[in-house]
């Protein structure tokens, strides 16, 4: 790969090495290299450049204690007894059942109160309707009674006039013979 880089851009590998060394020299104080360890590198068409070998990089000190469990906790393990586990599950289930039953009781009590309220309201409405009907009948009678009295008076007057006319007509006509007293002349026995 370095050869491909060199073919594309001559001196690129050397520049990369120098960039690495300058970065590392900024991180750590420079150490004196020994000449036996550092043979000069030669590029194809350049003069030999003396390059220091990279020093082993030491990472900064990291506290890794947070990644480990303390020995006491890692050795002590909590195992649940089967019966204890079932008891806890049963107690949780019984709590849920009790909560549900209480909610159901409250719901049924609310329904019963609501039903009683509706029944009382219905009875009250019926009573109010009967009272209103009675009051309406009284008011209607008080309005109709004078009319009926006047009508009755007119009827009485009319009947009296008719009787007078009949009586006057009866006086003006001669008395008619009684049909029972009249005998037929044509038949003999």
The predicted structure's pLDDT at residue 67? 73
The predicted structure's pLDDT at residue 107? 97
pTM tops 0.85, yes or no: no
The predicted structure's pLDDT at residue 104? 97
Domain boundaries of the chain, sorted by first residue: 2-59, 92-170
The predicted structure's pLDDT at residue 70? 62
Tokens of 104: 């159901």
| Count of C-beta atoms within a 10 Å radius of residue 43 | 13
CA-CA distance, 151 to 156, in Å (whole number)?
A: 9
Tokens of 58: 């030491």
Per the CB < 8 A criterion, the answer to whether 45 and 10 are in contact is yes
Which residues, given as ranges, of the chain have pLDDT below 50?
A: 30, 74-76
3-state secondary structure of 49: strand
The predicted structure's pLDDT at residue 74? 47
The predicted structure's pLDDT at residue 76? 47
3-state secondary structure of 163: helix
């Amino acid at each position: 790969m370095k050869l491909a880089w060199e073919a594309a851009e001559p001196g690129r590998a050397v520049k990369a090495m120098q960039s690495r060394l300058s970065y590392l020299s900024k991180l750590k104080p420079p150490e004196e290299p020994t000449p036996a360890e550092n043979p000069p590198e030669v590029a194809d068409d350049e003069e030999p450049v003396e390059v220091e070998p990279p020093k082993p990089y030491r990472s900064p000190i990291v506290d890794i204690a947070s990644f480990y469990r303390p020995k006491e906790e890692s050795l002590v393990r909590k195992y649940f007894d089967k019966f204890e586990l079932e008891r806890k599950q049963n107690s949780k289930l019984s709590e849920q059942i009790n909560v549900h039953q209480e909610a159901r009781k409250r719901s049924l009590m609310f329904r019963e109160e609501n039903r009683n309220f509706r029944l009382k309201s219905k009875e009250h409405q019926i009573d109010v309707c009967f009272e209103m009907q009675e009051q309406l009948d009284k008011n209607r009678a008080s309005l109709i009674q004078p009319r009926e009295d006047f009508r009755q008076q007119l009827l009485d007057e009319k009947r009296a006039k008719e009787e007078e006319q009949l009586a006057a007509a009866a006086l003006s006509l001669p008395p008619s013979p009684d049909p029972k007293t009249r005998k037929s002349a044509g038949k003999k026995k």
